[in-house]
A and B are shown apart, each in its own frame.
Chain A
């Protein structure tokens, strides 16, 4: 392999972290969107075009998440990375999209005509994304295929162990676990089956185990950023504060939201940390809820330097919020 590294530009910082993992020392990666920015609305800067001019590979979600990406790519005038060319990777390829609209209408705040594009919130999706990136790297540098594939396997194994725990992966294998988890039937399956006199659920570890305290619980989300995360962790979402991105909600919507939150005793509100913290805290104060503000992407807050610590951050913050709710409830019961 020549000394020249493959120059990769990604839209999201999360894609950049994955690329660095599977590409190792043979790639140089740059991301456009920082982890605490809204990927929908990024102000184009000349530096993006300069980066894309040099790029051998461009990784974007490929859905209508990075609405600005086609313009920037056109401006860069780099034919290699246009959609459909070998230098372009659509990260979503092979991921089953949720929230597919039944009626196509832009008026419904419907930015997302293909389905929800916030695919990075389910760590299992990251395995598919990593595979797509490796396919892209192989096209440019076929000689290093074995190297990329080895890194890919290591990455996927690591994700499996982090999601399900070492023990369960050893017993059942990541492929089966991933399929069951994506279908939404994993926990049921584990509760029904047993192995060596112990229920399979007792072998569960990793993030899913850590997330058991909030499985089946209901939250309110600020915007539809978290559907894939919720799907994996069995969280129910009562409603969204701002269902249409960028348009303030109507009083009727807010009234219904607050009434339902009180009636169903929903006490946790989850929001990406690019939304106004003041607003989220005000809403929470109004309904007595605990805010969970977390970054969407890698590096969006202290201690989220890679994909693993990012998911750690999400799970531990959500868990802590539910613990706060519980202690509050106990305190009020004591009185």
Chain B
């Protein structure tokens, strides 16, 4: 690896590693609690915090903005812990989706008053993992370790509520309080990670390792190991792919994660089904169907491409530059003029332009063919031009003719 490459990919690689560490774990909770979109909603709350801070004149880069976004994310955590009901008539996902939409809408309304709105919203989605700084990674590592230790000591309570809330209620635990603590620690992580990696990457880091490991095993420590292993492999491979095939890094890792999940699911499907031949046939059918869909869309695309080609892109014919002195530099013009010995053509060219400098050049050539005519024209320029430099040029051209 060259030095430059390490400069660029090194920080991104370590950032991905520490993201894998905490998100694979939190993802297990998220899946078990069935609150998949909670990270999106919390991230949106954090972004809303940044924008509100902006209204107070706090630039979105400083520490002030960080506290604003963290504060708002914790507010979001409070909302989610309050929105869990014992008997689920309203699913919590509905509340989460709604909070997301509201926070996003309010952020857009707020940002409309600020100039760089569109940029920030785009940034939030894709992140900028390539530009992450070592100092940011160091901070993230500290924050994530703190959250990790917090969860390690309180793991029994958190896991109980995530896996079996009814039992937790029965034990007389204050589920609301523990929920708040859980979402708060989640908010701390999200505020940090969304800022560098973007919503897409964070979402995938949470969900994919968790789904994969839950598919494979029910034992927590095995789930964790599978999630971490997968995360590391996919991050390295995704970064490498994005480098070799010249693709944006964040989206490349996301797409590769999705692909790996699909492959694992297919392999498990074949291994676990009673009739393996049957399962393989089903996969084959799936592939054929996929191929068919691709072909269909391709045909559709081609059709419209061909149609649009008829309608659009009728570029106006390029004006032939054959004799447009105003498009040429002096050298070219002189050369072209010296090839002309048709006095009437030169005269026509002379009157076609109003550029005194070009007129002098044309008159000079005219003078070589017909000294009288050339001198008259130069004299006219010398008399009438309002610009001293042009008058001098005309005079010099007349002197040259005399020699």
Choose from A185, A251, A277, A286 the contact partner of B61 (Cβ within 8 Å).
A277
Answer yes or no: A252 CB below 8 A from chain B CBs. yes
Answer yes or no: A61 CB below 8 A from chain B CBs. no
Answer yes or no: B165 CB below 8 A from chain A CBs. no
Which residues of A129-173 are within 8 A (CB) of B?
Answer: 170-173
Choose from A176, A189, A250 the contact partner of B242 (Cβ within 8 Å).
A250
Which residues of B239-275 are within 8 A (CB) of A?
Answer: 239, 242-244, 246-251
Given contacts A251-B243, A282-B131, contact A176 B357 (CB under 8 A): yes
Indicate if the CB atoms of B61 and A248 lie closer than 8 Å.
Answer: no
Indicate if the CB atoms of B239 and A251 lie closer than 8 Å.
Answer: yes
Given contacts A179-B355, A258-B4, A258-B7, contact A250 B247 (CB under 8 A): yes
* Most A Cβ at <10 Å: residue of B128, B131, B357: B131
Closest to A114 in B: B315
Indicate if the CB atoms of B356 and A113 lie closer than 8 Å.
Answer: no
Closest to B123 in A: A276
Binary CB contact string for chain A from 245 to 282 against chain B (1 if under 8 A, 0 otherwise)? 01111111111001100100000000000111111011
Choose from A34, A104, A250, A276 the contact partner of B248 (Cβ within 8 Å).
A250
Indicate if the CB atoms of A172 and B389 lie closer than 8 Å.
Answer: yes
Given contacts A38-B118, A274-B119, A277-B61, contact A195 B389 (CB under 8 A): yes
Closest to A200 in B: B389
Answer yes or no: B219 CB below 8 A from chain A CBs. no
CA distance A249 to B329 in the complex (A): 38
CA distance A88 to B248 in the complex (A): 40
CA distance A175 to B243 in the complex (A): 50
Indicate if the CB atoms of A283 and B131 lie closer than 8 Å.
Answer: yes
CA distance A80 to B144 in the complex (A): 60
CA distance A36 to B244 in the complex (A): 36
Indicate if the CB atoms of B133 and A285 lie closer than 8 Å.
Answer: yes
Closest to B126 in A: A248
Answer yes or no: A43 CB below 8 A from chain B CBs. yes
Answer yes or no: A330 CB below 8 A from chain B CBs. no
Given contacts A171-B388, A171-B389, A277-B61, contact A251 B130 (CB under 8 A): yes
Given contacts A113-B313, A274-B116, A285-B133, contact A254 B8 (CB under 8 A): yes
Report the minimum CB–CB distance from A102 to chain B (whole Å). Answer: 12
Answer yes or no: B339 CB below 8 A from chain A CBs. no
Binary CB contact string for chain A from 282 to 324 against chain B (1 if under 8 A, 0 otherwise)? 1101100000000000001000000000000000000000000
Indicate if the CB atoms of B330 and A251 lie closer than 8 Å.
Answer: no
CA distance A259 to B2 in the complex (A): 11
Answer yes or no: B9 CB below 8 A from chain A CBs. yes
Answer yes or no: A332 CB below 8 A from chain B CBs. no
CA distance A274 to B121 in the complex (A): 13
Indicate if the CB atoms of B313 and A104 lie closer than 8 Å.
Answer: yes
Indicate if the CB atoms of B392 and A195 lie closer than 8 Å.
Answer: yes
Contacting residues, chain B, for A189 (C-beta < 8 A) = 330
Contacting residues, chain A, for B12 (C-beta < 8 A) = 251
CA distance A171 to B388 in the complex (A): 5
Indicate if the CB atoms of B239 and A248 lie closer than 8 Å.
Answer: no
Report the minimum CB–CB distance from B253 to chain A (whole Å). Answer: 11
A-B contact count (CB 8 A): 119
Given contacts A276-B119, A279-B131, A282-B131, contact A251 B390 (CB under 8 A): no
Contacting residues, chain A, for B304 (C-beta < 8 A) = none
Answer yes or no: A183 CB below 8 A from chain B CBs. yes
Report the minimum CB–CB distance from B271 to chain A (whole Å). Answer: 36
Given contacts A113-B313, A173-B387, A255-B8, contact A36 B116 (CB under 8 A): yes
Indicate if the CB atoms of B387 and A171 lie closer than 8 Å.
Answer: yes
Given contacts A249-B248, A250-B246, A255-B5, contact A274 B115 (CB under 8 A): yes
CA distance A286 to B3 in the complex (A): 13
Answer yes or no: B335 CB below 8 A from chain A CBs. no
Answer yes or no: A37 CB below 8 A from chain B CBs. yes
Answer yes or no: B384 CB below 8 A from chain A CBs. no
Contacting residues, chain B, for A34 (C-beta < 8 A) = 115
Answer yes or no: B320 CB below 8 A from chain A CBs. no
CA distance A282 to B11 in the complex (A): 13
CA distance A255 to B3 in the complex (A): 10
Answer yes or no: B122 CB below 8 A from chain A CBs. yes
CA distance A251 to B1 in the complex (A): 13
Choose from A176, A254, A259, A282 the contact partner of B390 (Cβ within 8 Å).
A176
Indicate if the CB atoms of B386 and A173 lie closer than 8 Å.
Answer: yes
Answer yes or no: B60 CB below 8 A from chain A CBs. yes
Indicate if the CB atoms of B392 and A253 lie closer than 8 Å.
Answer: no
Contacting residues, chain B, for A41 (C-beta < 8 A) = 118
CA distance A117 to B117 in the complex (A): 22
Report the minimum CB–CB distance from A83 to chain B (whole Å). Answer: 15
Indicate if the CB atoms of A276 and B116 lie closer than 8 Å.
Answer: yes
CA distance A251 to B115 in the complex (A): 29
Indicate if the CB atoms of B131 and A175 lie closer than 8 Å.
Answer: no
Contacting residues, chain B, for A173 (C-beta < 8 A) = 356, 385-387, 390
Choose from B9, B108, B329, B357 the contact partner of A251 (Cβ within 8 Å).
B9
Answer yes or no: B354 CB below 8 A from chain A CBs. yes
Answer yes or no: B326 CB below 8 A from chain A CBs. yes
Closest to A203 in B: B389
Closest to B326 in A: A179
Answer yes or no: B120 CB below 8 A from chain A CBs. yes
Indicate if the CB atoms of A170 and B120 lie closer than 8 Å.
Answer: no
Indicate if the CB atoms of A247 and B248 lie closer than 8 Å.
Answer: yes
Answer yes or no: B112 CB below 8 A from chain A CBs. yes
Contacting residues, chain A, for B131 (C-beta < 8 A) = 279, 282-283, 286
Given contacts A171-B389, A276-B123, contact A36 B60 (CB under 8 A): no
Query: Interface of A with B (CB < 8 Å)?
Result: 34, 36-38, 41-43, 45, 104, 113, 170-173, 175-176, 179, 183, 185, 189, 193, 195, 200, 246-255, 258-259, 262, 274-279, 281-283, 285-286, 300
Nearest 5 A/B pairs, CB to CB: A171-B389, A36-B115, A278-B61, A248-B248, A173-B387
21 cross-chain CB contacts under 8 A: A34-B115, A42-B118, A43-B118, A113-B313, A171-B387, A172-B389, A173-B385, A175-B354, A176-B390, A183-B327, A193-B393, A195-B392, A248-B128, A251-B12, A252-B244, A252-B246, A254-B8, A278-B60, A279-B128, A282-B128, A286-B131
With A255-B4, A285-B133 known, 17 other A-B pairs at CB within 8 A are A36-B115, A36-B116, A43-B117, A43-B118, A173-B385, A176-B355, A176-B356, A179-B355, A248-B250, A250-B249, A251-B8, A253-B246, A255-B243, A258-B7, A274-B115, A276-B119, A277-B61
